[in-house]
Structure formats: C-alpha cells, structure tokens
Structure 1
Amino acid sequence: MPERDTYYVQGMTCANCAKTFENNLKSIDTVNDAEVNYGASKVTIYGQVSTEEMEKAGSFENLRITKEYTNSKRSLTNQLRSNFHILISISLVLIGIYFYLEFGEYHPATVAIFVTSMVIGGYSLFIAGFQNLIKLRFDMKTLMTIAVIGAALIGEWIEGAVVVILFAISEALERYSMDQARSSIQSLMDQTPPTAIRLTNGEQQTVNVSDLKVGDFVAVKPGAKVPADGKIRKGSSTFNQSMITGESMPVDKKVDQEVFAGALNGAGYVEVEVTKRSEDSTMAKIIHLVEEAQNEKAPAQHFVDQFAKYYTPLIILIAIGVATLPPMLFGLSYEAWVYQGLAVLVVGCPCALVISTPIAIVTAIGTAAKNGVLIKGGAFLEVLGQIKVFAFDKTGTITHGNPEISDYYIFDEEFSEEEFFTTAAALEKHSEHPLAKAIMNYTQANFRQDASIEVSNFQSHTGKGIEGEIRGTSYQIGSPASFSNLEPEVSEHIRNWETKGNTIIVLRKNGQTTGIIAIADMIREQAKAMIESLKELNIHETILLTGDHEPTAKAIQSASGIKHSRSQLLPEEKHQEVERLKKSFGKVAMVGDGVNDAPALAASDLGIAMGSAGADTALETADLALMGDDLWKLPYAVRLSRRTLTIIKQNISFALGLKALALLLVIPGWLTLWIAILADMGATLLVTLNALRLFKN
C-alpha cells in the first residue's frame, strides 16, 4: 500500500486547472496516484513528493501547498490587491493608450508598453497556454493564449492588452468566489480550538489538541470551546453546539453526558474526559465528509463535463471557419475575419460553463453543513430535490425513542401504587428491553427502593414476558399477547389505551391481573409541522414503517399527519415496502436511525439518518444525515436541494445564452475582442453571484 498524504492547495481558480494540476502530479516518478479535490482545495498524494515538487507541478497557476489548513478567505479588495501584476498591467495600458492618442497611431514606444503590459498581466496565462499547446490540450487558457498572440500578429495591441487584463481580473474574481463558496468548510475548521488545557495530577498544562489522547482529562472554562469529543466528568453547563447539530438554542449538559469538539461552553466550568482523538471527532468527520461531498459530482455536472469535452474543440473549429471561410469564399478581408475568429475563441472560453455547477454544489453542501444537514455529495443533493415519497421509521425518528409511562391502572385494591411499581421493577430489573427501562426509571424517580424484594425462580420467555416468585407469591409480567385469559374489564382498558398509541404491560399475581401500565414513545413536537411543510412542497405521499402494533402505528400516523402507515414489519418487510413504493411513485427517501433500518435505507433512493451527531455508523452509512434531532431540517434540505437544481439550470442557461448572443454578432461582423472578453467575464460573474445566493437559503 503506497504512502498516503493530504495537503491543502491555495490558488486553484478553476476545475480545468485542478485537472491539469492532478495530471502534472501523476507524471512525477515518485507519485503513484494523485486526487485533487477542487471543491475543498485539497490534494491527496499516494507516494512520496516534496511540497516544492508539488508547487512546481502547479507553477502554471502559482499554486501554494501547505500541510496544515490555513484560512485563505480574503476580501475582494485584498484578493485583487494580492494580484499586483494586474494593477501594474492596467497602469501600463493606460499610459500606452495616452501615448497612442498623442501619436495618433501605434508607435514603437506604445507597442513596447502594450507588450510589457501583456507579459506582466498574463505571464501565468501564457505559461499554462504554451504548455497546453505543446501537449495539444485545449482549455480556456489555451484559447486565450491563441487569441492574444493572434491579436498581436494582426497589430491589435490595445485590445490584446485589455483582453489579458480583463481575463486576469476575471480569474481573480473567480478565485475570490470559490473562496466564498468554500467558506462554510473554513468556518467549520475554525470552530475547533488549536490548544487544550490538559489536567495531569491536578496540574493544568496547555497542549496542542492533536496531542490529546483518549482518556485524558481537559478543563473547559466558561466561554471556551470544547477541544475534543468527550464526556463531562465534573461540573455542568450549557453548550452552543449549533455548528455540529444545527440547533439554534444552547443545550444543557451535566455529568456523564457527551460534548462535541467545537461546542462553545456557557457560564459553567467543566472537566471533560476525552473519548476521541482530534482526527476522529465528530467535527473532524463532518469536515472530511463535507470536503469529499463537495468533490462528488452531481449528474448535472457530469453532463457539463461531457459537454465541455466537445464544446471546446467545436469552438476552435468555428473560430477557424470564421477566420478563413469568408475571405476564401467571398474575397473579404483576411485581417477583419481573422480578428473575428480570435474574438470567437475568446467568447467561446468555457470557464463560465465549467464553474456553473461546481460552485453551486460547493456552496449548497457547505451551507447545509453549517445548518446541521450533512449531504454526502452532489448526486444525493440532486436526488433529494426529486423525491416523491418520504418513508419514516417510528422509534427515534417521528418519536423521541425514549419510552415513558403515560398511564396505569391498578385492579387489585390490596396493592398500593408503591407496591405495584416496586414489584414490577423487581421483575424487570434484569431485562434490557426499553419498556423495562421505562418502568425502572419511573419507579426510581417516584418511590423509595425496597432492597428486600428478591425474585426467585426467575424465568424470562422471549416474546412472552417474565415470571418469578416474590415472598412465595407467583408473578408474571409481559404484553397482553402473553396471556390468553385476560379479564373483560382489563381487555377493555387495553383496547382504549392502544388506540391512543400506547404499548401495554400487564402485571399478574397467581393468574389474576393486578394492574396494567401504559407506555408511550412520545411523538416529536415538530413532527406534524414537518409533515405539513412537506405537503406545502408538494410531497403528499408519506408513510410510517414500523415494527409496532397496528393501533400504535395508527395513533402515531394520525397525530403526526403522515398519510399512510404499515405496522408489525420486520426489517426485510420494510425493505420490500420501500421497493413497492419505488415502483408505485418513483424516487423514495427513507428516514431512520441509519443502523436498525439498514435494509430499507439501502433500498431507498436516498437514505436519511436522524440525529447523527456522534454516531459514526450513521455518518458513514447514510446519504444524508440530520445532525440534530430537528425534523424541521428535512423540509429545509428539500428546499435547498430544489433551489440548487434551479440555480444550476439557470447557470448553464446563462453561460451558454450569453455566449450564443455574443457569437451571433459574428454574422454582421460586429464581434470584437472587447465584447468577447466582457461576455465571457460577464457570464462567469453572473453564474458565480447566482450560485452564492444559496448562502441565504
């Protein structure tokens, strides 16, 4: 297995340049393979190579390679100021135009000024362009290089110089725009503090977060950020963990509860035991998955990439035709039509088209991550906007996943409330079933524990409950289905409670019912509003898939507003139900916990994991993960997806439409290099600004 290393890249301006950089890296003898992630500005190297060699491979665009992440987001003013050669080139052109107007024609001095301006403003363009020409690789820089050289050959010095300047400005704006689009990743990276206060034998020591090990104890002071995932071992406080879960309000945490790296501590002092190394933290996983997701292409982007393969050669053929056919067939001026051909090359640059999709994908996925929705790639973002049916698991998705006692009824008048629950708790003590835990928690919270209660002849029958003896009396506890001879009054109570969504536990003594307990997994407060919001988005087909009994399923369905329900389903039956829905309605999304509903999640077109913060399995297996327990994020994600798809379509239309309009100017011979570069630059700016609107979603 070759050595693998990841580096950050500064200066990548376009997807084509990223591909060129990747190919250059692969040509290095000591590199087995290289993968450039344009969206995240990262490169993964398989093999051994120095940063100097990597920067040499990216010298055509002055790329800078760093091992550690550095925030490259800069203001537009600083971005342009850093490209000082543009300012010098502009100054020289203005001086050259002044002398041109003074002399009334091109003078050797003015020509020298314009040539100097072109060299200073476009040296990186020409280096890349000449390299591409030698390798017969035709991209936007190749086309621009040919156009500028052609303009010089026919004596259009001013226009050649201005084209170089405008192209350089366009590249600087594109770099700034991509930095803005990547800012979501950068803001996530900025959340984790670089250092931590480690506690060793009562002593405090400031260390790098990367030096923390599992089992270390760290102090988190009021107003400080948690340095690593861990559990609180001392103290309590409120934590703002919005960057991880998307929750708008701070969350109260106490001893033995989990906290995430990057969460902001409120007013309390806490000591935290580290449970994950910095590279394995939930925040680190989110950042990694978002970076990878931004490099995953949506089907729309695959279309653009394929189209661009044929588009660029087609533009070259059209330019050659425009430059040669009118003079050859109609005896028109070669100089005028060669100029028109050069303008066609410039206006045909595919930069706006190439950037139209990735900048929207990068922005949307980053924006979603900041709001607690982790989308695993452009393909899943696109599928989300096409979903026709949402299928929901019940426990932990529509409900909280924490069963609680909602009611009880004691039939045996000799039994007090305390005796009834302590007896039930004694029988359920050794059970791991969630319903047993609900009884234990209620008993511990409301009654004094009687340590003298001992259960003898204890027997647990899977699916049929528990039996045992307490002080010589035989007791049984289990579901109503465990008993065939329930009293009519008991059966009537059970039917009434089950229609309200309760699960019933029966306690019997010597074959007679002592009492019944109703346990309910309470529905999430946002569930009904979430379903209504999906309906407003024209998603009317929703279904609840659960292994629970039909009365419970119907009660949850009614309370949440879900249209259909299927009950008493085994995992493979949920899988079959999803397949049926796909055949009947089209694309189906399954919302579950990412683990227990694995077959159904796998069968769906989009698997959505609920409440995935800290859950490694859910993060890795789901196509989309809601980091908090907020169901409102689901309609938000659908709206974001649809808006992204709309913007991608608009961008492709803008990119091709502006160029088509400019190319029509060739017919009357009105197309100039000025118009061509402004059309190209205008298209690039238009698609960029349009994509950045996704930040406001």
Structure 2
Amino acid sequence: MFEQQTRVTAIRIEQMDCPTEERLLRKALEKKPGVTGLRFNLMSRVLSVTHEPAVLDEVMQAIRKIGFTPELHDGKSATPRVAGKIGCCSHSHDTARSHGDSNGDSNGDSNGHAGHDDHHHKHDHDHDHDHDHDHGQAHPAHRHTGNTKQTQSAGEVSPNIGGGILPAWWHLGLGGVLALASELVHWFSGPVWLTIVCAVAAVALAGTATYRKGLVALRYGDLNINALMSIAVTCALLIGQWPEAAMVMVLFTLSEWIEAKSLDRTRAAVSGLMNLAPETVTVQIDGQWQKVEVAQVALGSRVRIAPGERIGLDGRIVRGVTTVNQAPITGESVPVDKELGDTVFAGTVNEAGEIEIDVTAAADSTTLARIITQIEEAQAVKAPTQRFVDTFSRYYTPAVVVLAVLLAIIPPLFFGGAWLSWIYQALVVLIIACPCALVISTPVTVVSGLTAAARMGILIKGGVYLEQGHRMGWLALDKTGTITQGQPVQTGMTPLDQAYSADQLQRIAVSLATRSDHPVSRAIAQAPEASALSAVTVDDFVAVAGRGVQGVIGDERWYLGSAVWAQELGVMSAAVKDRVAAAQNSGQSVVLLMNTRAVCMLFTAADKIKDSSIRAIEQLHQLGVKTVMLSGDHQSVVDAVAKTSGVTQAQAQLLPQEKQQLVQKLQKDGQVVVGMVGDGMNDAPALAQANIGFAMGAMGSDTAIETADVALMDDNLLKIPAFLKLSRTTRRVLVQNISLALGIKVVFLVLVLAGLGSMWLAVFADVGASLLVVANGLRLLRFSQREV
C-alpha cells in the first residue's frame, strides 16, 4: 500500500552544492505534510523527495521560496528542462552529471542509509521502481549526451556557493575598484562621506547575492556562511569600519568563486567517466550504415566500430577480430585480444581491426552506465568520518556564534575593554565561525577516492567501505576463480595398458571428453595435443552423474571418469590406486580411461594459480593483512594451492554456510575488519557476512555490481592491495583535512582573543582553509597513476 500512495521525485537544484543548502532545504521540507523522505546528492545537485503525489507542487514552491530554482530531473540529461543558476559552498558549472536515487528514506537522512554501519543491512537498498516519470527509471542514460553547455550568459561569473548567482564580472570588478577607492580615501584622510559612499556602493555591488541568501538563512534559523557574513559586514558598517567592510565583502565574493572552480575539478573527474562512451555509433539500418545516437539504439542492432574508435555500447562480436583497450573499465594496462563471440563493453577502445557487434545492452544499462550509477549512489552514502563531521558542525557553529556574542560583551562590561574594539573582534569570530572547510573536506576526499578507484577498475559502493578498508586485518579468499584461474588444464597423461598406443588411447579419451560438460573432461578435450587428433565415433553415449561418461567405440565399451567409478567397476588395481593417490596428494584432479577389463590411461588436470594471485597475497601480507583460503575442494588440493600461493591459513571441504561461519568467527572481537573475496553464488553468504565483500570479475555482471560492496571489474586479485593502499591514503587525507580545517580556526580564535585578529585575515583563513582541504582531497585523483 505504501508504494502505491507515495512516489519519489528527483529534483535537480543547481544552487545545491554543499551542506549550507542541504540544511535550508531540510528545514523547509522535512516537516511538510506529505513529505516522508529526503535524499541529498550534493555532488550531483539532485534531491530525491519521497512524497504523496498531491504535494509535489507545494514541494517545488517551498524550494523556490528559499530562492532556489528546482527542476524536475528525468535522469537522461545533464542539463535539466529549465535553465537554472548555480550557487554556494561548492559552486560549479554543469561538469557533473546527476541522477535521482530511488531510495525513499522515511527518516530524512541525507545519506539515505540509516543503519549502514551494520554490515548485515548493507545490501538492503529498497529501490522503488514504480516512481513517477520525473524520477527517471534509468539514471545513467544521459551519460552519452556528452558535455552539455550551461545556459549561462557570457557576462556572468561562475556560480556562488550560497544559492543564487554571483554578480556579473563588471559588478564584481566595479565593487572591487570602489572598495579599493574607499581604502585609499580613508588612508589619505580624504572626505569621510566619499569613504562611506564608495564602501556602501562596493558592498551593494559585490554583496547583494550574499545578503539575499543570508536573509533567507536567517528566516529559517540557519547560521550559514552567508548569514554570518551578512551580519559581520553590516555590523562593521555600523561601527564605522567602512573600507574594511567593503573589502571583506569583495574578497569573500571573489574567494567563493575561486573555491567553486576548485570544486569543479572533483565533478569533472566523475564527469570524465561519464564521457567515456561516444554520443553516436554507426548502426546498420535497412542495409545502410548510419550514425545514430546511442540512446536510440535498440537491443540486437548491428553496430560497426572502426579501428581507434571508442565503443559506444556493450555487444558481442559477430564479424572481425581486434584488440581492445579495456583500461577505462578494468584498469588493465594491456589490451585484450577479441574474436568472434567475445563481448566488448561501452567506453573501451577498439585498437586494431574493424569489428561489427550485436548490441546486448541498451545505453542506460551498459556495464559503464551501471558503474557510473553506482559511483553516484556511493556519493550519497556518507562515510563514518563524514557523518561525524556533519554532526560536529551542527553544534560547532552555534557555539562559536555564542562565543562571538560573549566576546563583544564581557571584556567591555567586566574588564574595561573598548566596546568598538571588542565588537570588531567578535565580528572576526563570526566570519571564521562557519565550518565550510571542515564540512567540505570529507565529501571531496571520498569522491576523489571513489573516482580514483573506478579508474583502476575497482568499483566501491560507498565511502563507508573505502574508509573501513584501512582497518582490514583478515581477507578470506575463495579458491576456484579467485586464487586459481577457475579452468582446469591437463597437466599429464600416463598410458597404463600396453595393448594400446598412447595416441590411440588419447583419441578415445578425447572423443568421450568432447561430449562431456565436466571441467576436467573439457581440459582433456582442449589439451594442445588433442587438436591434432581426429575424433572417433561414439555410440550409445551415456553421462553418469557424479561418475563420468561412457560409450561404445568400435566393438568395445569405454569409460572416462573418476577413481571412485573405477573402484565400482572393479578395474582399480593396487598400482593404479597408488598413482591416483600420489596425483591427488599433489593437488591434481584425476580422470581415468577404462574399458571393461582395466584402467588404460590416467589423466591429471589442475586449476592453475594465477601469477597475480601469488603477488597479491604477498602484498597483502606486507600490508599486515592475514589471509585465509576457504574452499569446497578436497583437502589435498587445497593444501597444494595454499602452499604455492602463500596464504596464511586454508580450510577445505566447506559448504557455503560453513564459509560464512568462519568469516563470522574471524569477526569475533569486533575490532578487525574482515574482507571476503569470491566470484560464485556459493560465496554469497560469506560475502554478505564480511565487513567488506569483494566480487571478482564483475565486468558485465549485473548481480556482482549491484550486490558487492567492492566490485573488481576483472579477475586480477592485485586490485585488493591497491584498494587497501587507496583506503589508507584516503584515511590519511581525511585526518589531514580535518586537522587543517580545525587547526586554522583554532589559531584565529587565539589571535582574536589576543586582540590581533582582523576581518581581512578571517576571510582569507576561512576560504583559504576550504581551498587547502579541496586541493588536498583532489590529490587522490592521481592515485591510480602513481600506485598501480
């Protein structure tokens, strides 16, 4: 009933860039009747509102009342249907695409994920697919529209971070000239009236938008940077600090714009992923090749891709061979050979021959589109540090404002201080009171980390997992397909019956193996020596579950199967039994070729360990992470793989629930983060139990991308050490940024208490801290080139 009575509407708000606007919107909307949930994505400037259908107009009107320009977001275009302006703590051009998350949280949490700290609930995203058309059913479809230009006139300055627009260049420039003139007139003891006129004119030209936004904030009881700056500048004018009030307003407006430019780089990094796929592809229509927008291409269409061209859609090759650079999706540095029947992915580059593909995924459901959707959704899932900072800032700003009031009153009343002097110092405190640098430090850092990981082919589902990674103490690994290649290969064959030649026995075995679907049988059929053999006719073929296959060749019945079957058939001799035991103890699988009299040939096969797995496990140990291999295979096979790969511990013959129980046992003290990496359905319980679940080879897999906490887009286990290094670097940057933001504030509070603060320095401190933490967070964007 609930899903029938409510809907989720995605609303793009160009002015919504930082927690300043989020708080205003929350106060305006969260108690409105009919609104049951709010979900904010500040990096994409999209607010998803869960509401009763009848109140949508009221919601839009409430947003306009704040001074913002709401636009219904259809999820298909970077530019909404109504041209809007931009503003606040993170101004920006439209370099960042947006999406509407369909998670309708009734608790109004800006993360939309209350309780995400509990890993038992980390996959419980309740996506409502019955939302109205405004929400946009396929978020990523707009990725292929390219760079959409903003409808901003050439005379306007880039957006301000408080909602609304900065003045045109000439307004800001003229305001700066008048502020400087006011300073010079005052410095050279010119007419006071001229100082006042120049100062007031400068404030009016440069600060109109700040005052307007400040008044809106005060109306909602929100002491954001615009409200604090408006109060400070107004009081400075009232106490006769005309030139300084004017210059502070001009510098604040200019520095806000500079800060916006810095934050644009974060959005541009995510935007770079979105622009990987081309806008158009060459499609065969009625026998003719035509350029068509990717969003218009239907499933099954034939698409031609020239050498050097970027692939626009997922598809299967039906003509031609080539090599494809899959680095944008998997992070692989070496191009991959592709031939008939192989799959190619949108966003990758066709480097060699011309190919034709049949489209297997629409533009809004390609692997690249799903990756981008997950990155955007991850931005809305706040890491523990970010939640702490948001909570801290709610108490910090009012506390500092109270301090400013006390600073203006107590020294003059009780210690004989000069009223104007201490009021001035109180105004300095007001300017540095806003925790913008502190609040902005965490999302910029986390988004940069998520984007850097995506460039390496590591898709992280939220900042919580990126941040948790630095505490990982154990990593549990599945064996088959994770540490090993997942495809057994023939490692040997031993003739045991002198009545037949080795070639004759192998030909019989290959003829039976080609008709079996067992992995070891396939290894026999695909062995290099088998390609030169001509198959013989097999009559009366039968597959016996759990045993092998049999058939009549010539006038004799042959069996290809397990040692257990040989025992049941009564053809297992003591000598053969010893050979089988020796092979199994060395970690190899055994298949026997038998007739009705004896075992004639012994084949061995093994699932080879990936070279990358050995190096990855070595790196994990160097990083202080212990490893345990969990497998359902026989103990002898598991022991052999463990010895070669170097894992710390190994457990064999485990059922899926037993793997889960072992992961749970590793978590017993609660202080160690436990990771689990696997690639199969039998790993699902353990992956869900782990604090961080890693899915191997998720490229092209809907299930893996949607359910894993971290999806490794190829089968390279080396990506887990890279993830850990990135997590630890991200943690260091977060600590650095918080220390910078708070440290600068503390220094200036000390200067103010010593009577040495000034409004000029306060503006530089506030914005300078923001620029420092943004620049420091953006360093993570270079991680992929430096570390992997």
State the TM-score bracket (shorter-chain normalisation). over 0.9
1:394 touches 1:546 (CA, 8 Å); kept in 2?
yes
Alpha-carbon distance in structure 2 between the residues aligned to 1:386 and 1:79: 50
Shift of 1:386: 0.8
Alpha-carbon distance in structure 2 between the residues aligned to 1:602 and 1:314: 42
Q: Please tell me whether residue 434 in structure 1 is matched to residue 519 in structure 2.
A: yes
Secondary structure at the aligned position of 1:232 is classed as: strand
Shift of 1:43: 3.8
Alignment partner, residue 618 of structure 1 = 704
1:13 touches 1:178 (CA, 8 Å); kept in 2?
no
Alignment partner, residue 764 of structure 2 = 678
The one of 319, 324, 327 equivalent to 1:234 is 319
Counting only pairs closer than 5 Å after superposition, residues 503-518 of structure 1 correspond to structure 2 as 503-518=589-604
Q: Could you say if the C-alpha distance between residues 629 and 184 of structure 1 is closer, same or farther in structure 2, counting changes exceeding 3 Å?
A: farther
Counting only pairs closer than 5 Å after superposition, residues 381-460 of structure 1 correspond to structure 2 as 381-442=466-527, 446-450=531-535, 452-456=537-541, 458-460=542-544
Alignment partner, residue 658 of structure 1 = 744
Q: Could you say if the C-alpha distance between residues 115 and 415 of structure 1 is closer, same or farther in structure 2, counting changes exceeding 3 Å?
A: farther
Counting only pairs closer than 5 Å after superposition, residues 18-167 of structure 1 correspond to structure 2 as 18-21=22-25, 35-44=39-48, 56=64, 59=67, 68-69=77-78, 72-73=94-95, 82=158, 84=169, 85-102=171-188, 104=189, 107-167=192-252
**Which one-letter code corresponds to 1:126 in the other structure?**
Y
Q: Could you say if the C-alpha distance between residues 79 and 36 of structure 1 is closer, same or farther in structure 2, counting changes exceeding 3 Å?
A: farther
Secondary structure at the aligned position of 1:384 is classed as: helix
Alpha-carbon distance in structure 2 between the residues aligned to 1:62 and 1:172: 22
Shift of 1:237: 1.0
Alpha-carbon distance in structure 1 between the residues aligned to 2:361 and 2:58: 31
Alpha-carbon distance in structure 1 between the residues aligned to 2:543 and 2:768: 78
2:566 touches 2:594 (CA, 8 Å); kept in 1?
no
Alpha-carbon distance in structure 2 between the residues aligned to 1:490 and 1:164: 91
2:675 touches 2:694 (CA, 8 Å); kept in 1?
yes
The one of 320, 324, 336 equivalent to 2:421 is 336
**Which one-letter code corresponds to 1:296 in the other structure?**
V
Shift of 1:61: 9.2
Alpha-carbon distance in structure 2 between the residues aligned to 1:209 and 1:425: 46
User: Which deviates more, 46-55 or 271-280?
Assistant: 46-55
Shift of 1:52: 9.5
The one of 388, 410, 416 equivalent to 1:325 is 410
**Which one-letter code corresponds to 1:554 in the other structure?**
D
2:179 touches 2:250 (CA, 8 Å); kept in 1?
no
Shift of 1:657: 1.1
Q: TM-score, normalised by structure 2?
A: 0.82
Alpha-carbon distance in structure 2 between the residues aligned to 1:9 and 1:372: 31
2:445 touches 2:780 (CA, 8 Å); kept in 1?
yes
1:393 touches 1:591 (CA, 8 Å); kept in 2?
yes
Alignment partner, residue 289 of structure 1 = 374
Secondary structure at the aligned position of 1:612 is classed as: coil
User: Which deviates more, 25-34 or 559-568?
Assistant: 25-34
Q: Could you say if the C-alpha distance between residues 63 and 150 of structure 1 is closer, same or farther in structure 2, counting changes exceeding 3 Å?
A: farther
How much identity, in percent, do the aligned residues show?
35
Alpha-carbon distance in structure 1 between the residues aligned to 2:66 and 2:291: 38
Q: Deviations over 1:304-347 (max 9, x none)?
A: 11111111111111111111111222232221111111111111
Alpha-carbon distance in structure 2 between the residues aligned to 1:572 and 1:445: 40
Q: Could you say if the C-alpha distance between residues 632 and 576 of structure 1 is closer, same or farther in structure 2, counting changes exceeding 3 Å?
A: same
Alignment partner, residue 15 of structure 1 = 19
Alignment partner, residue 258 of structure 2 = 173
Shift of 1:141: 2.0
Secondary structure at the aligned position of 1:182 is classed as: helix
Q: Could you say if the C-alpha distance between residues 238 and 59 of structure 1 is closer, same or farther in structure 2, counting changes exceeding 3 Å?
A: farther
Alpha-carbon distance in structure 2 between the residues aligned to 1:494 and 1:100: 99
**Which one-letter code corresponds to 2:500 in the other structure?**
F
**Which one-letter code corresponds to 2:309 in the other structure?**
A
Alignment partner, residue 636 of structure 1 = 722
Shift of 1:544: 0.9
Q: Deviations over 1:351-383 (max 9, x none)?
A: 011111111101100111111111110111111
Alignment partner, residue 692 of structure 2 = 606
Q: Please tell me whether residue 306 in structure 1 is matched to residue 391 in structure 2.
A: yes
Alpha-carbon distance in structure 2 between the residues aligned to 1:595 and 1:58: 50
1:607 touches 1:622 (CA, 8 Å); kept in 2?
yes
Q: Could you say if the C-alpha distance between residues 306 and 51 of structure 1 is closer, same or farther in structure 2, counting changes exceeding 3 Å?
A: closer
Alpha-carbon distance in structure 2 between the residues aligned to 1:438 and 1:355: 55
Alignment partner, residue 465 of structure 1 = 548
Alpha-carbon distance in structure 2 between the residues aligned to 1:143 and 1:386: 39
1:198 touches 1:205 (CA, 8 Å); kept in 2?
yes
Alignment partner, residue 668 of structure 1 = 754
Q: Deviations over 1:66-113 (max 9, x none)?
A: 961267349xxx9996452433322221222233334x1562232222
Q: Please tell me whether residue 480 in structure 1 is matched to residue 489 in structure 2.
A: no
Q: Could you say if the C-alpha distance between residues 669 and 79 of structure 1 is closer, same or farther in structure 2, counting changes exceeding 3 Å?
A: farther
1:607 touches 1:624 (CA, 8 Å); kept in 2?
yes
Shift of 1:662: 0.7
Shift of 1:15: 2.6
Counting only pairs closer than 5 Å after superposition, residues 236-255 of structure 1 correspond to structure 2 as 236-255=321-340
**Which one-letter code corresponds to 1:479 in the other structure?**
S
The one of 353, 357, 360 equivalent to 2:445 is 360
Alpha-carbon distance in structure 1 between the residues aligned to 2:485 and 2:717: 11
Q: Could you say if the C-alpha distance between residues 8 and 226 of structure 1 is closer, same or farther in structure 2, counting changes exceeding 3 Å?
A: farther
Alpha-carbon distance in structure 1 between the residues aligned to 2:261 and 2:71: 15
Secondary structure at the aligned position of 1:538 is classed as: coil
Shift of 1:348: 1.5
1:61 touches 1:124 (CA, 8 Å); kept in 2?
no
The one of 512, 515, 532 equivalent to 2:618 is 532
Secondary structure at the aligned position of 1:357 is classed as: helix
Structure 2 alignment gaps of length 5 or more = 80-92, 97-153, 159-165, 784-788
Q: Please tell me whether residue 647 in structure 1 is matched to residue 647 in structure 2.
A: no
2:508 touches 2:536 (CA, 8 Å); kept in 1?
no
Alpha-carbon distance in structure 2 between the residues aligned to 1:468 and 1:106: 112
Tell me how large the CA RMSD over aligned residues is: 2.9
Q: Deviations over 1:180-236 (max 9, x none)?
A: 122231111111111111112321111110011111111111121111101011111
2:491 touches 2:605 (CA, 8 Å); kept in 1?
yes
**Which one-letter code corresponds to 1:370 in the other structure?**
R
